[in-house]
Amino acid sequence: MQRILIIDDDEDIIETVGSLLKFEGYNVDFATTTEQGVEMIKNAPPDLVLLDIMFPDKKTKGFDAAGEIKAINPNLPLFVFTAINREYAFDFSKDDIKADEFINKPVKVDRLVEKIKQYI
């Protein structure tokens, strides 16, 4: 069974998205910090990563983590999911961050599953 790692400090997102992905047949692991998530990727790489951008200690910490994840495993599918453009009106795109896909919060599960199936 394919394994997805969710890296997000929001436990509601982890629980909701994780449950929906489990229902779709995926194994789901989670990390509530980017440091924990990167360590998990080093020790047991998942098939795909869902990474939030905003964390309490640094609003754009996910940008740094994305670069670190891609440095560790350039072929690992990495989806960034965030509300940052909506909440803070930052103008960024795939060219600004090392991610394969951008998923806006709130997450539309059918779109997320469709995108995941394109990668794994």
Q: How confident is the model at residue 87 (pLDDT cuts 50, 70, 90)?
A: very low
Model confidence at 54: pLDDT above 90:
no
CATH code of residue 57:
3.40.50.2300
Residue 81's domain spans which residues? 3-119
- Domains held by the chain: number: 1
List C-alpha distances in Å: 21 to 33, 46, 66, 78, 117. 20, 14, 21, 16, 11
Model confidence at 51: pLDDT above 80:
yes
Q: Take residue 39 and report the two structure tokens written for it.
A: 């360590």
Model confidence at 84: pLDDT above 90:
no
Nearest one of 119, 55, 66, 112 to 92, comparing CA atoms? 66
Decide: 19 and 43 in contact? Cβ < 8 Å.
no
pLDDT for 102 = 86
pLDDT for 89 = 46
